[in-house]
Amino acid sequence: MATATVPREHAVTRKELIEKLNEDLSREYQAIIAYVVYSQVLKGAEYMTIAKELETHAKEELQHALKVSKHIDYLGGMPTVTPLAVKTSDDAKTMLRADLENENNTIRAYRERLRQCEALEEYGIAEDIREILRQEQEHQSDLAMALGVDVPDVSRKA
Ligand SMILES: [Fe+2]
Ligand SMILES: [Fe+2]
């Protein structure tokens, strides 16, 4: 009766977990595309440091996409090939704000995924998601710092 202790909102089937991980994968593809493009088109001396940082983010997001794909395959699913839409702009602040918004959504999603993996006793996947989440929080904080804003509170009980 182990499932009796799992709060209802975290209880998912393996099939639902595959679907949710595919949403995460679409978000990772979006992040890769946005970071590849934005890191190259950001202009202005004040943005050079963050532009370099975004290149690093792009490589980390690719690693996340590979890990998430591996787990979808392990669960018996087929990894999606479709990214979420990427906002286009030639304004530095608009690009950085779009990245920050995406990271906020990503962090919210992975926190939920972590609870769902643990509820399914998929501790191996949970461990990888925990590490991905740590890097997403770094991305979020890099972007907040570049924009000169506080790191947004994305907890559910805000
Ligand atoms: Fe990522
Ligand atoms: Fe990220």
Stretches where the chain sits below pLDDT 50 are: 1, 158
- The encoded tokens of residue 147 equal 């924009």
Start-to-end CA span in the chain (Å): 32
Closest ligand to the CA of 64:
1
Query: How close is the Cα of 58 to the center of ligand 2, in Å?
Result: 8
Given this model, what pLDDT does residue 155 score?
85
Cβ atoms of residues 110 and 129 within 8 Å:
yes
Give the model's pLDDT for residue 157: 58
Angle at 34 between CA 47 and CA 155, to 5 degrees: 90
Structure tokens at 45: 């001396």
Encoded tokens for 55: 């290149």
Task: State in Å: Cα 8 to ligand 1 middle.
Answer: 27
* pLDDT value at residue 158: 46
| SS3 track for 107-118 | HHHHHHHHHHHH
**pLDDT tens digits, 114-140:** 999 999 999 999 999 999 999 999 999
- How remote is the CA of residue 3 from the centroid of ligand 1, in Å? 29
Torsion on CA atoms 70, 75, 76, 79, rounded to nearest 10? -40
- pLDDT (0 to 100) of residue 11: 86
Question: Cα separation of 27 and 22, whole Å?
Answer: 9
* Ligand lying closest to the C-alpha of residue 141: 2
CA 89 – ligand 1 centroid, Å: 21
